[in-house]
Amino acid sequence: MFNGAELHLLVNHLPVIGFIGCVLGLAASLISRSADIRRFMLAATILTGLSGLLPAGTGEDAEEVVEHLPGISKHQIHEHEEIAEKAMVLGLLSAGVAFAALLAAKRRPETLNMGVAATLALSLVSAGVMGKAAHEGGKIRHSEIIKHKTNHDQSELERHRE
């Protein structure tokens, strides 16, 4: 039904958009007086962090579809893979912190705010790195987001296309 590239494009937006939503929701939950909202946002962060496994699991199949197409840079694919791996790890760390915060708050409810704040801080970093990974991935096939290159930069880019 879907080839590897289509499936990768379908799932890679989940953690990127999800972490933006989690950052906003976690911040709002700290303003809110509701412990239920805080717990909900921690659970949402766990799911969002785990959703980062989907693009990681589909990346190799996507690469197989596009790596031999004209104009595709193997260097650019490598750059995307490197930052995407960091994004996935940060997303999983955010999920782990959220999970630990939920467990700690179950035993000691007064720790909930601190757990949400820690999750928010790490989720903010995760969202930024997820955005960078998405940007690098977009450069593989979206020439409209590649900055105008000088002749020297263009020559360097051509050498990496091998």
DSSP letters spanning 76-108:
HHHHHHHHHHHHHHHHHHHHHHHHHHHHHHHH-
Tell me the pTM. 0.83
Tokens, residue 25: 């929701």
Whole-number pLDDT of residue 16? 95
What are the pLDDT digits (tens) for 95-153? 999 999 999 999 999 999 999 999 999 999 999 999 999 999 888 877 665 554 444 44
Chain centre distance of CA 159:
29
Q: What is the mean pLDDT of the chain?
A: 88
- pLDDT band for 20, please (50, 70, 90 cuts): very high
Whole-number pLDDT of residue 146? 59
What are the pLDDT digits (tens) for 71-82? 888 888 889 999
- pLDDT band for 10, please (50, 70, 90 cuts): confident
Tokens, residue 26: 């976690």
- pLDDT band for 155, please (50, 70, 90 cuts): low
Q: How far is CA 126 from CA 45, 61, 83, 90, 158, in A?
A: 11, 24, 11, 5, 31
Q: Are 134 and 91 in contact (CB under 8 A)?
A: no
Whole-number pLDDT of residue 151? 45
Architecture per CATH, 4-160: Up-down Bundle (1.20)
Whole-number pLDDT of residue 147? 58
What are the boundaries of each domain within the chain? 4-160
Tokens, residue 31: 């303003």
